[in-house]
Amino acid sequence: MNLNPVTPAFLETLQSVLPDRCLRPADPRYLEEPRGRWKGQAGAIVAPDSTEQVAAVLKAANAARVPVVPYGGGTGLVGGQIMADGPAPLLLSLERMTKIRALYPEENVMVADAGAILQDIHEAALAADRLFPMSIAAKGSARIGGCLATNAGGVNVLRYGNTRDLALGLEAVLPDGRIWNGLTRLRKDNTGYDLRDLLIGSEGTLGVITAAALKLAPRPAGEGTALIVVDSPAAALTLLSLARDHMGEGVSAFELIHGTGLEFLAEKLPQLRQPFAEAPEWMVLIDVGLARGIDPATALENLFVAGLEAGLVSDGLIAQSQQQRQDFWEIREQIPEANRLVGSISSHDISLPLSTIADFITKGGDILRRMGDFRINCFGHLGDGNLHYNVFPAKGRQKSDYLDQRDAVQRAVHDLVDEFDGSFSAEHGVGRLKVADLERYGDPVKLQMMRSIKTAFDPNGILNPGAVLRA
């Protein structure tokens, strides 16, 4: 595509359609990303106040063939918000559009501007005695527009679905400035093609989401948490089945933890209390939220007993207080930090069909053992089939000792994932980091249709060029 960088003349055009307060200084924080892999560039940064201003900006950029990078909280892990090369783009930040537009507790619906911070959405829902269940580690800075654009996942997907499943309607601006008003609060509406789900997960390449109608959930009457030692990943999966037989949709989270995670915690974050005297090889962290008339701790005890009888579990702790629930979760949530401190050779956000996970873990271990001396920390959202399968140096060695093996490790893991009909990106998206993976592992017809859709929405290719699809 023939794109042009931001020029002084284009800046003048922007000034003619935007109030001065919407033009931001080129603060370097917009050009960094959490893992420090790339440095971005920007010819200008704008933060419109309104959907109409977003439309005016896109109309101008489309006329001038200037690339536009939509920007939410900047917390994406695959470089979707960072354009490192090509003509200097316009960075379009939603940071000034942060309103909760409306809340309908009786409908379990909230309508929010795309720039609203995820945590503010959580708090607004709680203030109405409701739950917005999608939650990720970056919730304090991630914006809902970015969560929608990337179809963010997190710990409650098992029960409540991905971000996609929590959106009823969207408002978005198309690359040429047309505004699509699809901000419906309806649960059922079969009137034409599903533009909503097409924009969700398109990572800012088809349109800029400016607002969303979000599903809320009632708060469960009682909640409980258990940390249970399981014999194997296969036993963990059977326990999950059992848990759902016992508690139905009441199982909110089902997280797998490996002993390597506890080992890393002991090594790098020794102040954190270890849950078991002797670190087990495999554990699951189970969170439940149940209806009235049933005590979560009792339900978890019953599950534990059933697991014992079925020979699946050998030890376990059931939280007796809110504090203990938080302590158990702290263990799970500090594992990524311990990983960061150890320093991974290669990290993978993969998903697999549930029934293949145990087999995958065995085969993955075998393959990596043949390739070298690694430690594997495999943990994550087991209930969704989503593993964070991260490969680390052997004890006493450094990440830098393995630089020449990094690509081979990544390739071996992704090849195996592909062999098992899994995904090389479960929840982080494609961004710019995984464009080549999508080309390698994606269905070729799907890629062709994605290109056709991109052309239909964005014939000049101005929106987030190079993300998802090669520019």
Q: Note the Cα 322 to chain centre separation in Å.
A: 26
Minimal distance, residue 180 CB to a second copy, in Å: 4
- Which of positions 360-419 make contact with a second copy (CB under 8 A)? 381, 384-386
428 contacts: CB under 8 Å, gap ≥ 6: 76, 77, 78, 150, 349
Asked if 299 is part of the footprint of a second copy (rule: CB under 8 A), the reply reads yes
Give, for 12, the enclosing helix (H) or strand (E). helix 8-17
What's phi and psi for 351, nearest 5 deg?
-135, 155
Query: Tokens 């440095």 sit at which residue?
Result: 39
* Selected binder of a second copy within 220, 233, 275, 393 (CB under 8 A): 220
Asked if 204 is part of the footprint of a second copy (rule: CB under 8 A), the reply reads no
* Selected binder of a second copy within 40, 87, 145, 250 (CB under 8 A): 250
329: left (phi over 0), alpha (psi -120 to 50) or beta: alpha
* Selected binder of a second copy within 50, 298, 314, 326 (CB under 8 A): 298
Interatomic CA distance for residues 249 and 265, integer angstroms? 31
* Selected binder of a second copy within 179, 269, 279, 297 (CB under 8 A): 179
Cβ–Cβ contacts within 10 Å for residue 217, how many? 16
* Selected binder of a second copy within 1, 127, 137, 291 (CB under 8 A): 291
Alpha carbon separation from 191 to 182, 194, 212, 389 (Å, rounded): 11, 9, 18, 41
- Please choose, from the candidates 234, 232, 254, the residue with its C-alpha nearest in 3D space to the C-alpha of residue 243: 254
324 contacts: CB under 8 Å, gap ≥ 6: 225, 317
Minimal distance, residue 187 CB to a second copy, in Å: 4
> Measured from the CB atom, is 37 or 185 closer to a second copy?
185
> Measured from the CB atom, is 275 or 431 closer to a second copy?
431
Helix (H, G, I), strand (E, B) or coil at 181: strand
Asked if 241 is part of the footprint of a second copy (rule: CB under 8 A), the reply reads yes
> Measured from the CB atom, is 93 or 162 closer to a second copy?
162
> Measured from the CB atom, is 95 or 437 closer to a second copy?
437
* Selected binder of a second copy within 221, 266, 310, 341 (CB under 8 A): 221
> Measured from the CB atom, is 120 or 427 closer to a second copy?
427
Q: At what angle do helices 406-419 and 357-371 cross, to 10 degrees?
A: 150
> Measured from the CB atom, is 398 or 452 closer to a second copy?
452
> Measured from the CB atom, is 34 or 353 closer to a second copy?
353
- Which of positions 56-95 make contact with a second copy (CB under 8 A)? none
Asked if 453 is part of the footprint of a second copy (rule: CB under 8 A), the reply reads yes
- Which of positions 305-344 make contact with a second copy (CB under 8 A)? none
| Burial grade of 446 (CB within 10 A; 0-12, 13-18, 19 or more) | exposed
Label residues 313-323 b or e (16+ Cβ within 10 Å = b): bebbbbbeeee
Minimal distance, residue 128 CB to a second copy, in Å: 12
Nearest-Å Rg of the Cα atoms of the chain is: 23
Minimal distance, residue 437 CB to a second copy, in Å: 8
Asked if 297 is part of the footprint of a second copy (rule: CB under 8 A), the reply reads no
Asked if 151 is part of the footprint of a second copy (rule: CB under 8 A), the reply reads yes
Minimal distance, residue 291 CB to a second copy, in Å: 5
> Measured from the CB atom, is 105 or 259 closer to a second copy?
105
Asked if 261 is part of the footprint of a second copy (rule: CB under 8 A), the reply reads no
| Burial grade of 214 (CB within 10 A; 0-12, 13-18, 19 or more) | buried
* Selected binder of a second copy within 135, 238, 390, 464 (CB under 8 A): 238
Query: What number of chain residues touch a second copy (CB under 8 A)?
Result: 97
Asked if 126 is part of the footprint of a second copy (rule: CB under 8 A), the reply reads no
* Selected binder of a second copy within 247, 256, 319, 413 (CB under 8 A): 247
Q: Note the Cα 415 to chain centre separation in Å.
A: 22
* Selected binder of a second copy within 192, 270, 400, 404 (CB under 8 A): 192
